[in-house]
Structure 1
Amino acid sequence: MKKDLTAFRTALPDDVGAIVQLVNCAYRPEAGAGGWTHESDWVAGARVNAQQVLEMLCKPCSVVALGLIGTEIVACVHIEKHGDDAHIGMLAVQPHRQGTGLGKQMLALCRTVSRRDAGLR
């Protein structure tokens, strides 16, 4: 079932735990779990930890954008300025919501934020 994100916002330090849980669940779920971003067969351990996410939030020219449905964080992406370009990473969507277009909505947000806020390509 397709459901659009209802809001976007910039992550705050209080969101670190939810971001870590979302990213690790999306990329390194338990054995047998679904989702197309599953890396558990190739790489062991957590994809990201709280210290890494906090560093992203505190770094200049870096933002972690959150996608919400209601008040629930269901997607995230890291956007960082490098010269005249914006680099993205850590794009994650809850596994049971993957394939519903939420990742595309987050990528569209990246393009908008990059062009509007930083004049990046």
Structure 2
Amino acid sequence: MSDLHFRVATIDDVPALVALVESAYRGDASRAGWTTEADLLGGRRTGADDIVACIQRERSVMLIGERDGALLACAHVAMERGSGNEAGAGYFGMFSVRPELQGDGIGKAVLREAERIVREDWQLPLIRMTVIDVRTELIGFYERRGYHRTGMHKPFPYGDERFGIPRRDDLRFEVLEKAFTRET
């Protein structure tokens, strides 16, 4: 997507980012794309408080993908600290593309840019993310881009409506990661 431009979000972008993330994951509008979680979760996906925290967090950026000044996509990219001598890893989350544009290559371009930031700007050896493990089509998308399932799981925060209202009782997160090589 040569006409897709990237920049780091500011506080002025918060309302538009909340609307984008919500539209990509929740409610009927999200069903226009393939990343919807509407059958898994109701309620909110994010709020202004979450976006502001990502923008203000040290070693973190909210990456925006735009075309002609229009917000098309975003992702949170952050540095996770390593323990001891471990270099740490990048973290990729809150990945959202306008539902009607999903499948047009925008998401792949955002993912590549996030990986570039982690690999080149921050010089970290790998990038991680968490995905709801019943989202097999989404996990497949990431596997085709070099991510692998680590087998590590994290519990879904049932009872904390900041993360949505579950429609199922078997949700949990799986950690995916991609190590960078000289070729990636």
Q: Same fold (TM over 0.5)?
A: yes
- Give the number of the structure whose residues are more often helix, by fraction: 1
Q: Does 1:118 align with 2:122?
A: yes
Residue 9 of structure 2 aligns with which residue? 11
1:58-85: CA deviation from partner (whole Å, max 9, x where unpaired): 0111111000011001000100101221
In structure 2, stretches of 5+ residues that fail to align are 82-87, 126-184
1:9-48: CA deviation from partner (whole Å, max 9, x where unpaired): 0000000001100000000132783211111112111100
- Structure 1 outlier segments of 4+, above 3 Å: none
- Give the number of the structure whose residues are more often strand, by fraction: 2
Q: How many residues align?
A: 119
Deviation at 1:6, TM superposition (A): 2.5
33 and 58 in structure 1: CA distance in 2 versus 1, 3 angstrom threshold? same
How much is the aligned-residue C-alpha RMSD, in angstroms? 1.5
Residue from 27, 30, 37 that aligns with 2:28: 30
3-state SS of paired residue (2:90): strand
Residue from 64, 70, 77 that aligns with 1:72: 70
3-state SS of paired residue (1:46): coil
> How many Å separate the matches in 2 of 1:85 and 1:9?
21
In structure 1, stretches of 5+ residues that fail to align are none
Deviation at 1:5, TM superposition (A): 4.3
TM-score norm. by structure 2 comes to: 0.61
Q: Which has the larger radius of gyration?
A: 2
